[in-house]
Chains A and B, each alone.
Chain A
Amino acid sequence: MELENRISNKALTVWKISGLIGSSITWIICIAIFTLTVFFEWTYWVFGGVVILSIIQSYLTIFLMPSVKWKRWRYEVRNTEIDIQSGIFVIKRTLIPMIRVQHVETKQGPLLRKYDLASVEISTAATMHVIPALDLAEADELRHYISRMASVEEEDV
């Protein structure tokens, strides 16, 4: 029983870009180590090790993880509950009944804004759940829908 909705295609691009930003920082560190190695005549083993780690990190964060993550990410918002599936190596399924939802938020960072995306944050009294990178219109609609469904049934914390 796979869930119906996927998150936006563009999320893949956004994740790849943020992976790129993350690994570029590592590469800057690599260059710094390289200059230090040249100047102080350290052994090149350190530099080599860091380069290999950076290559692995770049591959994982730019290519492998975004696509696996995107494939895993599914969600379904029904009348009475929200069902979320996420994860890369560990697949996680979360079930939140509508009556537990306290409030819903949509959020947009600079990167998400550029691609006209938004993430939806669903808070219960005790926990917070995020659906990342939906199309802005879809996110807004979802927010309205959830808050409408959640307010149907009033209950104490």
Chain B
Amino acid sequence: MSEPKRLHPVAVLLNILKSIKELVVPFVLVIVIPGRNEGIPGWVQPLAISVIVLFLIIHAFLQWLRFTYRMEDGEFRIESGVFVRKKRYIKLDRIHSIDISQGIIQRIFRLVKVNIETAGGTQADAVLSAIGKRDAGRINAFISTEKNKTAIDVPEMEKDRHSRHEGAVEASSVYKQTLPQLVAMAATSGAVGVFLSGAIAFISQFDEIIPFDRIFKNYEAFIGMGTIILTAFAIVGLLAVYVLATVSMVMKYASFTVMKTGEELIISRGLLEKRQLTIPIHKIQGIRVIENLVRKPLGFATVYLEYAGGSVEDKESLTIMLFPFIKKKLLQAKLGEMLPAYQTISEMTPIPKRALSRYVFRKAVFIIPIIGVLSWFFKPWGFLSLILFPLGIFWAYMEYKDAAWNIDGDLLLLSHRLFSKQTLIMQRSRIQAICYKRSWFQSRKGLATISASIKSGVHARIGLVMDVEEEDCRTIESWYLPKKTVDSR
């Protein structure tokens, strides 16, 4: 498959839509906002617009004409550009993920969009906006077979170990999320908050267009009916938003499936917009387990993959769910099937008891002033803020209880809690740097804050535990020191 290929002609349409989207803001600024200009004859505006549109269409067509892709010499090669010719050659074993998605337009024509990503950047490295499904399948297969070839050729420690793992579990394992699970996940996801703020932002945009004043004047009588009915309406409204958020989340993650085929994980999901992401297992940087406020008491968790691919432009490519909603008890077993390198069953080491007072202190430092101010200025209702105190202590206690670390072979686990509990599972060979800090208060108690960073998307993902025994920091540090990496070579 080395002859240059073009995208499907629908790409022309997509190009036009994309440039229109990019031009909306300047268009509004230049043409709509100034309104009718007295000096300029009336025919200038339509002419200008039609010239621009014609130019867009021609440009989109040329873009399509000039865009070719091919695969040769272990590289994925793209040549593109109308005025400036661009050649982009991506080494296949530098590819971190292949993201296949289907928007509405692609769906109509039974096409797919393919994003090929290398380690994090502001935009995807190669975007094939519209190609046939069969072509996409072929690209995917070609890249993975090519990669397996290199994996065998180059006896690199990493790949070697993984391919041995794969040898043991050749039969691909599958993880599916059932619909009830998905609904439960969406209902406990806290997506409502995002949705709600989005809705508020949206409505406030139309504040000036929709005559709220007039509407509400007519309903003055209605408002007069009293707070109970208003509250009822508010609750119904909130409920509606909640249901909407849940439904949209379910649609986004509908038929969520993770498949393991040899060297790769394939994650597919979506109802309206289908997405399929292929990640080579040896490019995975770490695993993040999140247990949020609602899910933790129920014993459920969400598991994310940390990988160096993904682009800032496409936010969804930055956080990849491995298991959206999984029972904590089943987690390790499932992880063992999918990513045996990240399986760990040993207990976490808790932080020492004397750390508890540090956690309480940290909360008290900002809660006491708040209580003080509220109680002073809003007597007598301000005294209600005293409730914050036991709440804060409880919160501190939860944080203390969930702070833990563990070393298991080549894995480092760090978990801490702010609202949700985050556990980061990292392989030694993936940790970019480890640091530990101690403030004056901490060193007096022989405690320290340890953190480890791995590469995730464009930036770093940091796992940290506050107030670990200082001795333990030393242990982690000496575990991390690369002497063993050298030995194993």
Binding site for B on A (CB under 8 A): 80-81, 87, 89-100, 124-127, 129, 153, 155-157
Contacts and interface: CB of A to CB of B under 8 A. Distances in A.
B443 A91 contact: yes
A129 B435 CA distance: 11
Interface in B284-312: 285, 308
A95 B477 contact: yes
A127 B460 contact: yes
B486 to A, nearest CB: 7
B437 A155 contact: no
A78 B345 CA distance: 35
Contacts of A99: 482, 485
B253 interface: no
A3 to B, nearest CB: 13
A126 B480 contact: no
B429 interface: yes
Contacts of B158: 155-156
B260 interface: no
B440 interface: yes
B6 interface: no
B435 A126 contact: no
B432 A125 contact: yes
B320 interface: no
A89 B439 CA distance: 6
B438 A91 contact: yes
A95 B336 CA distance: 30
A87 B437 CA distance: 9
Given A80-B483, A126-B460, A157 B439 contact: no
A129 to B, nearest CB: 7
B483 A125 contact: no
A100 B428 CA distance: 11
Interface stretch (B127-135, B262-270, B365-373, B449-457): B449-457
Given A91-B437, A100-B433, A157-B119, 9 more contacts: A81-B481, A90-B438, A90-B440, A92-B435, A95-B433, A125-B119, A126-B433, A127-B453, A153-B485
**Most chain B beta-carbon contacts within 10 A, residue among A89, A93, A157:** A157
A1 to B, nearest CB: 9
Nearest to B285: A157
A124 B461 CA distance: 13
B475 to A, nearest CB: 13
A103 B431 CA distance: 16
A89 B429 contact: no
A93 B481 contact: no
Contacts of B454: 126
B432 A94 contact: no
B295 to A, nearest CB: 28
B119 A95 contact: no
A156 B443 CA distance: 37
